Homo-oligomer: A and B are copies of this chain.
Amino acid sequence: MPPLDLTADLVTLTRALCDLPSVSGSEREIADAVEEALRALGHLEVLRDGDAVVARTHLGRAERVVLAGHLDTVPVARNLPSEVREDPEGPVVWGRGTVDMKAGDAVLLALAAALREPTRDVTWVFYDHEEVASELNGLGRLVANHPDWVTGDIAVLGEPTSGAIEGGCNGTLRVEVVIPGKAAHSARSWLGVNAIHGAAPVLQRLVEAVPRVAEVDGLTYREGLNAVGIRGGIAGNVIPDECVVTVNHRFAPDRTEEQALAAVRELFEGYEVRVTDTAPGARPGLDHPAAEAFVREVGSRSGRPPRAKEGWTDVARFSALGVPAVNFGPGDPALAHADEERTPIADLTLCFDALRGWLTS
């Protein structure tokens, strides 16, 4: 493939990134391309860890801003190669990754090329394995291996927010609820105990649970509690001896992981609950001076006030390092992972201009 041209227009750069498929675990090629393009700029120190690439200025500015984006996507659903389409609301870039989050990556990469002397020192971070299990996360690996590479006064994650600043994020917890049974031949089912039938009350508790809505530092966080997987059954003629329901709980940042788990254990009292994956939420952190300047810059351009981030994002990893972090990027987060994933071209320009304004003011 030809090298990435970071000086191309934002649509061309977004499409070039999308058309280089990089489902989680297969980010090598795109990471190589990003590293090569950043090195070619000449004004950045470029570092690499696995398939994560870090590039930064050393201008001796009073503040350092970290701008980060992940390079991986969820699996392609016959929605590549990317296209430019006309939506009723205006032109969009359509295809896997346009929302989550190669349009955001394109904005950051274009800024990395355009801003040779920003008024704030900048660290650009592009990383792998965001769409899969938390322990694989490339930003988590950087935080563990090289915390100095990703530290700053404030971090901005280019995740989709339709060009609004979204503060903090919900935490996320995944558990397996295990329903036991006893195997038997299905012709003599009364000799067994059907574990799948035993899952009925577990699912009913999920149906009846009313998720909490929490106000945190002035922003509103909506929780969620959902089965995201179920499995059970040995063979077509055997009464199943186990059924496992995988549950994902999204919890507001006023709760710790331990508090969220306690709530889930209480809901499923009487059943074995195995934790498979957990990540803390992050409070909004909009009271930091650098964050306030960014909020003013975005507000003056778009008129959009900051709001709570609904999905878990890696802002929580910065939060754990003591670095306040917000989400800000092109694309409607409701379209992330959708087959009809698409981002308004106007979002690309808005995000690029707002970040450039902030980093050069």
Q: A144 near B: Cβ within 8 Å?
A: no
Pair A237/B227 contact, Cβ less than 8 Å: no
Tier of interface size on chain A: 35 or more
Pair B233/A230 contact, Cβ less than 8 Å: yes
Pair A197/B226 contact, Cβ less than 8 Å: yes
Shortest CB-to-CB span from A250 to chain B, Å, is 5
Shortest CB-to-CB span from A305 to chain B, Å, is 20
In Å, the complex CA distance between A277 and B237 comes to 11
Q: A203 near B: Cβ within 8 Å?
A: yes
| Contact A250 B170, CB 8 Å, known A197-B227, A230-B231 | no
- The one of B229, B233, B234, B276 in contact with A240, judged by C-beta atoms closer than 8 angstroms, is B229
- The one of B186, B311, B334 in contact with A248, judged by C-beta atoms closer than 8 angstroms, is B186
Shortest CB-to-CB span from A253 to chain B, Å, is 13
Shortest CB-to-CB span from A78 to chain B, Å, is 15
Chain A contacts with B in 160-201, Cβ cutoff 8 A: 170, 172, 174, 183-191, 194, 196-197, 199-200
Pair B240/A194 contact, Cβ less than 8 Å: no
Pair A233/B239 contact, Cβ less than 8 Å: no
Q: A222 near B: Cβ within 8 Å?
A: yes
6 A-B pairs closest in CB distance: A229-B233, A187-B311, A200-B203, A196-B227, A189-B224, A186-B248
* 18 cross-chain CB contacts under 8 A: A184-B334, A186-B250, A188-B224, A188-B311, A189-B225, A194-B206, A199-B230, A200-B204, A203-B203, A226-B239, A228-B235, A228-B236, A229-B233, A229-B236, A231-B231, A231-B233, A236-B248, A236-B276
- A residues adjacent to B (C-beta < 8 A): 74, 131, 133, 170, 172, 174, 183-191, 194, 196-197, 199-200, 203-204, 206-207, 211, 222, 224-240, 243, 245-246, 248, 250, 276-277, 310-312, 333-334, 336-338
